[in-house]
């Protein structure tokens, strides 16, 4: 079910990890809008600013972001691509689609554990004999909402080949 983007980008919907933990699923031309985020040693610098920009575009287009799904794909220590799932194409945005078979695993804890989670996720893919060509992270809530809910979930998602 599609959930509208919150009017205030620091107010995130509560995340249910069960449908995403250790699941394999297919996407067929799943719609996203793509933006670029600057990073410093993988730490996002303008993430909030980009999310506000995307929220404005969705609001203007009367679009929604199903499940609040927003994927981060680190391209280097200095840049990251952001993919926000949308229910329709958005004017004045880079509209892209993702297709294929995917595997996801949910982690919970402090953002500083992302490196450990990444290692565990790669080891999980190897143990399941999954090959991948792309990996994404879904930071399901902002730090303020993670504190509010008492949980900080991050979903790792790999496209399988």
In tens digits, what is the pLDDT along the chain, a chain of 161 residues? 444 444 444 468 899 999 999 999 999 999 999 999 999 888 889 988 999 999 999 999 999 998 889 999 999 999 999 999 999 999 999 999 999 999 999 999 998 899 999 999 999 999 999 999 999 999 998 888 899 999 999 999 999 99
**What is the pLDDT, as a whole number, of residue 41?**
86
- Structural domain contains residue 11: no
Q: Is residue 131 part of a domain?
A: yes
Q: How many domains does the chain have?
A: 1
Residue 15 lies in a domain: no
Three state DSSP letters for 1-51: CCCCCCCCCCCCCCCCCHHHCCEEEEEEEEEEEEEEEEEECCEECCHHHHH
Closest listed residue to residue 51, CA positions, set 6, 13, 107: 6
Please indicate, yes or no, if residue 12 is contained in any of the structural domains. Answer: no
Is residue 64 included in any domain, yes or no? yes
66 within domain boundaries: yes
Domain containing 139 equals 23-160
Q: Could you tell me if residue 10 is inside a domain?
A: no
Question: Would you say residue 9 lies in a domain?
Answer: no
Q: What CATH number should be reported for the domain holding residue 81?
A: 3.20.80.10
| Rounded CA separation 78/125 (Å) | 26
What CA–CA distance (Å, rounded) separates 12 from 15? Answer: 8
Nearest to 136 by CA among 74, 49, 79, 57: 74
């Amino acid at each position: 079910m599609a959930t509208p983007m919150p009017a205030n980008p620091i107010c995130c919907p509560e995340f249910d990890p069960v449908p995403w933990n250790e699941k394999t699923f297919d996407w067929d031309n799943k719609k996203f809008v793509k933006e670029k985020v600057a990073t410093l040693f993988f730490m996002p610098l303008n993430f909030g600013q980009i999310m506000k920009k995307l929220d404005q575009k969705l609001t203007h287009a009367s679009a929604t972001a199903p499940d609040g799904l927003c994927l981060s794909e680190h391209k280097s220590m200095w840049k990251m691509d952001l993919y926000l799932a949308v229910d329709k194409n958005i004017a004045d945005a880079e509209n892209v689609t993702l297709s294929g078979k995917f595997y996801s695993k949910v982690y919970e804890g402090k953002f500083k554990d992302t490196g450990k989670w990444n290692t565990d996720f790669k080891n999980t893919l190897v143990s399941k004999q999954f090959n991948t060509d792309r990996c994404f992270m879904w930071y399901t809530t902002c730090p303020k909402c993670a504190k509010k809910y008492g949980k900080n979930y991050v979903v790792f998602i790999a496209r399988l080949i």
